[in-house]
Structures are given as structure tokens and as C-alpha cells.
Chain A
Amino acid sequence: MNLPVADEAVKDSGYYRRLQAAVEELLILKGIVGREEIDREVAIMEARSYRRGAAVVARAWVDPAYRARLLADGAGAVRELGIEIGALHLIVVENTAQLHNVIVCTLCSCYPRALLGMPPDWYKNIEYRSRVVREPRAVLAEFGLALADDVAVRVHDSTADMRYLVLPQRPEGTQGWSEEQLLEIVSRDALVGVAVPVAVPAAPPSPASPAPGLAA
């Protein structure tokens, strides 16, 4: 018996969604995993958001000693903020006026999920993985980011056990901003290096919608 694979017809019929359900039900019936265990794990994953990474960046922007610790020991500095990242090995790479960092995993889609949540589709797709090592400036331009000629690009191919976070430059025009205000201008894409933060003041936070994803 062979289970079908990669056939357009079975894809369209929701085959992989049904296969996931079949495997889950069998594992539960055999007592290998519990439904509540899976629910709990999903809840942990759903609570993770790039905003945790943005909070790390905002702290590094206002606290030079924290920034130094973050660059020396990424995971340790993230845990200082009470962010639960398990056994994540994190390397933080800093953009400067002369250097721009961008992250990829050409072989699969390694991404600091424990810190930032699930990676976006473009990060997992073949096009980004193929091209960003070979023509990073052309790729960044497709994201709307034009780098000056005198800025070197450093592409990090996350092929093994390390995961990466870009520490962007704090933009001009943010003097005197609070850490909370700074957090709001750090996008997910800036943490991967396909965007840079700009000093656009955020709308005042609504009391009805607290910032998601900061809790562990």
C-alpha cells in the first residue's frame, strides 16, 4: 500500500489536511500524544509573534549595555526580558551605516520561531531561498528596500543549529521616543533584514487591543 503524494488532484481535495488529521487521530488512539498536549503546543506557537523580537530591538536601542549583551549572547539577552525561547541558539547581527544584514535558510526554512513565530511564506518559498544569496540587492529591491552602493550586504545562510535576528539601525527622528513607541516601528521584515524601520509615529495604542505576542 502506498499513500498518494504530490498529486494535484489529491492536493485540491484537502489531502494533506486530512492526512494530518488521520495521523493525529492514530497517535492519540495509541496513547502516543494527547489532544490537550497538541492544543497546548499550538497555543504556545500562536502566542509567539515578531513583536517579541521588536521588543528586544527597542530595548537595545534605548539601553547600550543591553545592546552589548544582546550582540555577545543573543539568547541570554532575550531571556533577560522574560521571553521564553527554549533551547534556541540565537545570533544577533547588527546593521550599521556601512553594513546591511539579511537572513535566509537556503536549504529549508530555519527561522527563530521560538522568538518570532512562524516564518512568512516568502521566506519558505524557493524564489527567496534561491536568489537572496546570489543577488541580495535585487531581492531587497523587490521588497522595496534600496541600499546605497557604499553599504555592504552580509547574507546569513542559516544552514545548521544557529538562528538569527537582525538588529536594525535606530532611524533618524526618533530621539526622545519611548521604548514602547520604538517597538511599534520595528516590523517583522526588519528583523529578517528585508526592510528597515522608519520614523513613522504609531497611532496611540487602543486599550481594547493590547500588543499581542509579548507574553511567553
Chain B
Amino acid sequence: MTSHEDSRGAAVVRDTGTSTPLRGPHDVGGLPAGPISLDEHATTEWEYRCWAIATLLRDPMRGARIGRPGEALAGLDESRRHGEELGDRYVKLAYGERAVHALTRMLVRRGVLDEAEIAARLASIA
């Protein structure tokens, strides 16, 4: 990887296809990869419920329930960003696992939930 700066000072590099901080772990188009597994799992209940919650929270009316009128409490691109920020851990998680991770990070970052209360709740769930 070589790099220099363009006229506006933004980093410009010649990408070499290896994993770098400048190619997100999700941006895999064109990279070598192994055979495609055609095994499929049926979407689980918790995967459906995670997606359902994210869908409901994207409604801009939702924030009014916690005194934040006109504010959506989730966003699709925001959720993707939190998944991408997993870095090297991105590929270790299944799609549904990344979705739960991203939803949780997003709610913590937005101040809707805090990590301590999530951890406490988690301890009560078998």
C-alpha cells in the first residue's frame, strides 16, 4: 500500500487488496474468496425480532416515546456502520449476530440504553 494526499488533503492510496484500515471489512467485492456454501438456516425467532425492532425504531415518530419528538431511534446506514466498525471481527460473526451487535451499539451511542443496564439484564437471561 502506498499513499499520498490529494489536493484537499484527503488520504489517497493505491489499494493492494489486503485488509487495511482504509478498506472496511465489509467492502469485499472483487477479493479472492473460497467456495460458496449453499447450506441455509431458517431465520430464527431472535433474528426476526432484532430486525423487527430495528424497523420499528427507524420510524421518526418513535423518539416521542422518550421525549425526543421527531427523532428516529435507529437508522439503516448507522446500523451498518456499527457492524463495519467490528473490523477484523466482522467476518467472525454471522449476519444475525452482527445485526444484534449493531442494534445494541446504536442504542448505546444514541443514549437510549446504557451498557450497565444491558449487562445486568443479560445476566438474568438464560
Contact A20/B46 with A120-B40, A124-B95 known, Cβ cut-off 8 Å: yes
Output the nearest chain A residue to B96 by Cβ-Cβ distance: A16
What separation, in Å, do the CA atoms of A133 and B125 have in the docked complex? 42
Interface mask (A102-121 → B, CB under 8 Å = 1, otherwise 0):
00101111000000001011
In the complex, A128 has a CB within 8 A of chain B: yes
Interface size on A, residues (CB 8 A): 52
Residue among B27, B44, B45, B116 making CB contact with A107, cutoff 8 Å? B27
The smallest C-beta distance from B119 to any residue of chain A, in angstroms, reads 6
In the complex, A19 has a CB within 8 A of chain B: yes
Interface mask (B80-120 → A, CB under 8 Å = 1, otherwise 0):
10010010010111011100110110010000110111110
By a CB distance below 8 angstroms, the chain B residues around A33 are 53, 56-57, 62
Which residue, of A22, A38, A130, has the highest number of chain B Cβ atoms within 10 A? A22
Output the nearest chain A residue to B51 by Cβ-Cβ distance: A45
Residue among A5, A24, A134 making CB contact with B49, cutoff 8 Å? A24
In the complex, A131 has a CB within 8 A of chain B: yes
Interface mask (B1-41 → A, CB under 8 Å = 1, otherwise 0):
00000000000000000000000001111111111111111
By a CB distance below 8 angstroms, the chain A residues around B39 are 121
Please tell me if the beta carbons of A127 and B33 are within 8 angstroms of each other in the complex: yes
Interface residues of A (CB under 8 A from B): 1-3, 5-6, 8, 11, 16-27, 30-33, 37-38, 41-42, 45-46, 104, 106-109, 118, 120-122, 124-131, 133-134, 139, 142-143, 157
List 27 A-B residue pairs with CB atoms under 8 Å apart, sorted by A's residue number.
A1-B119, A5-B86, A8-B92, A18-B122, A19-B118, A20-B49, A22-B118, A23-B104, A26-B118, A27-B113, A33-B62, A38-B53, A45-B48, A107-B26, A107-B29, A121-B37, A121-B41, A121-B95, A125-B37, A126-B91, A127-B36, A130-B31, A130-B33, A131-B33, A131-B36, A133-B30, A134-B29
Interface residues of B (CB under 8 A from A): 26-41, 43-53, 55-57, 62, 65-66, 73, 80, 83, 86, 89, 91-93, 95-97, 100-101, 103-104, 107, 112-113, 115-119, 121-122, 125-126
Task: Please name 14 further chain A to chain B contacts, defined as beta carbons within 8 Å, in addition to the given A3-B104, A133-B29, sorted by A numbering.
Answer: A3-B122, A8-B92, A19-B101, A20-B49, A20-B103, A21-B46, A23-B103, A23-B118, A32-B57, A38-B53, A104-B29, A107-B26, A107-B29, A130-B33
